[in-house]
Structure formats: C-alpha cells, structure tokens
Chain A
Amino acid sequence: GAVVSQHPSWVICKSGTSVKIECRSLDFQATTMFWYRQFPKQSLMLMATSNEGSKATYEQGVEKDKFLINHASLTLSTLTVTSAHPEDSSFYICSAHGRSGGQYFGPGTRLTVT
C-alpha cells in the first residue's frame, strides 16, 4: 500500500513553455500532498503543501504564480511550471502521507528546460 506515482518521469521542454507534472496516490486517498524540488547532489527542499479543495501553501521564496498547484481530487495533485527557464531544471518529487504514517514519495520527475 501507499503507492504514489508521478507522470511524466522525464520531460524536456523549451524555455518559455509550461509543463504539467501529475502526482497520484494509487491505493489511498490523500487530502494533503507535498511537492519537493531536488537539485543535483542536494537534498530535497519543500516547495509547497497541496491541499485538496483549497489553495496550496507555498514555502518562503517559492513563486506561486510560477509553480501552480492544483489538488482537484483526493488522489491527484498537479504541479505546473509556467514559463519555464533553464534554472527550473530540477528533479521534482511529490509525496503523500500513508495510512500508517510517514510520507511516501513518488518516483520523481526530471525536468530539463533547454
């Protein structure tokens, strides 16, 4: 149990375009999901908390107009990187709390902006 999936696993886009990343809890409902960003050889940094049916809560320094989060259902949260730039290239990981506690992470999405 507590499986979280992400799609796509890898995406390349041109600078100025937008990219949507999906995060799904496959076998449980998640009222709260989290989006993290990981630069190469660095730790995970929390970007925002995604709440089902309400606005996301962003961490300090994260541009909410650039990183749009939508948590439309109990099993799906999306992160849209708008007007992507090369510095947005990173590994984006989502997570959700499982029933037995602890956060379960998706496999991650590697974004490369050219």
Chain B
Amino acid sequence: AQSVTQPDIHITVSEGASLELRCNYSYGATPYLFWYVQSPGQGLQLLLKYFSGDTLVQGIKGFEAEFKRSQSSFNLRKPSVHWSDAAEYFCAVEGSGGYQKVTFGTGTKLQVIP
C-alpha cells in the first residue's frame, strides 16, 4: 500500500525567506505525486504534480518540487515566501496507471512572520 510522510507538522519562516517542505512516499513503482495547499476553511488547490519526465516540477505561485527517486522524496520549495503563503500544505501520492486512490500526508502548517 502507498503511504506519504510529512515529517514537519508546523513550520515558521520569515517573510522573504526560502522555504522547503519535506515529503517522503512509499510505493512499489514510480507514483504520481502532488502538492496541494489549503487555506483555513477552504478546499484544496493543486500547486503542482509530477507524473514522469523532468524531476524538477514548476507549479503555481512560485512553488517548485523535486522528485528524487533514490530518496523517495518530493520536497516542495519556494525561494521567497510571502505572507499570503501561510496555509496548510499536503503532499499526496497516487498509484500510477490513472484513476487510482490518492493518499494524503498529514500536512504541514506554514506560518509566515513579518
């Protein structure tokens, strides 16, 4: 069975600082990988996804993520955080082959301080 681990429950960064959110997955083959963001009381917004090809994926809002097969990781990065980035971030894995179940990590809450 697939699983996702987000080791950091809560992260605080200063506005303008760089950000990296960690995500490790477990799956028998190369899965589909996603990062979603959720603001309080809101639904989820897809930031970026990895299916295959280039291991560095660019997403919306200036985010990027790098798939590292050897480390089973898919960490999310942003070079300069804005106060509006404060939210909950979820890494997710879907079995390859299309229309599979998606398993979410427990989420990382990002706080941005002035």
CB closest chain-A residue, reference B33: A102
Known: A6-B43, A46-B103; 5 extra A-B contacts, CB below 8 A, are A42-B106, A45-B104, A104-B46, A105-B43, A105-B44
Q: Is the interface of A mostly helix, strand, loop or mixed?
A: strand
CB closest chain-B residue, reference A32: B99
Q: Is the interface of B mostly helix, strand, loop or mixed?
A: strand
A93 to B43, CA, bound (A): 7
Q: A92 CB to closest chain B CB, in angstroms?
A: 11
Q: Which residues of B contact A43 (CB under 8 A)?
A: 90, 104-107
Task: Say if the beta carbon of B113 comes within 8 Å of chain A.
Answer: no
A94 to B68, CA, bound (A): 30
Q: A26 CB to closest chain B CB, in angstroms?
A: 14
Q: Which residues of B contact A42 (CB under 8 A)?
A: 106-107
A43 to B90, CA, bound (A): 8
The 7 sampled A-B contact pairs (Cβ below 8 Å) are A34-B101, A43-B107, A49-B101, A103-B46, A105-B36, A105-B43, A105-B44
Which of B74-114 touch A at CB < 8 Å? 90, 94, 98-99, 101-107
Task: Say if the beta carbon of B41 comes within 8 Å of chain A.
Answer: yes
List residues of chain A with CB under 8 Å of any chain B CB: 6, 32, 34, 42-46, 49, 93, 95, 97, 101-108, 110
Cβ–Cβ contact A102 & B32, under 8 A: yes
A104 to B34, CA, bound (A): 11
List residues of chain B with CB under 8 Å of any chain A CB: 32, 34, 36, 41-46, 49, 51, 90, 94, 98-99, 101-107
A91 to B45, CA, bound (A): 15
Q: B26 CB to closest chain A CB, in angstroms?
A: 16
Query: Which of A46, A95, A103, A107 meets B42, CB within 8 Å?
Result: A107
Q: Which residues of A contact B99 (CB under 8 A)?
A: 32, 97
Q: A48 CB to closest chain B CB, in angstroms?
A: 10
Q: Which residues of B contact A101 (CB under 8 A)?
A: 32, 49, 51, 98
A108 to B36, CA, bound (A): 14
A45 to B107, CA, bound (A): 12
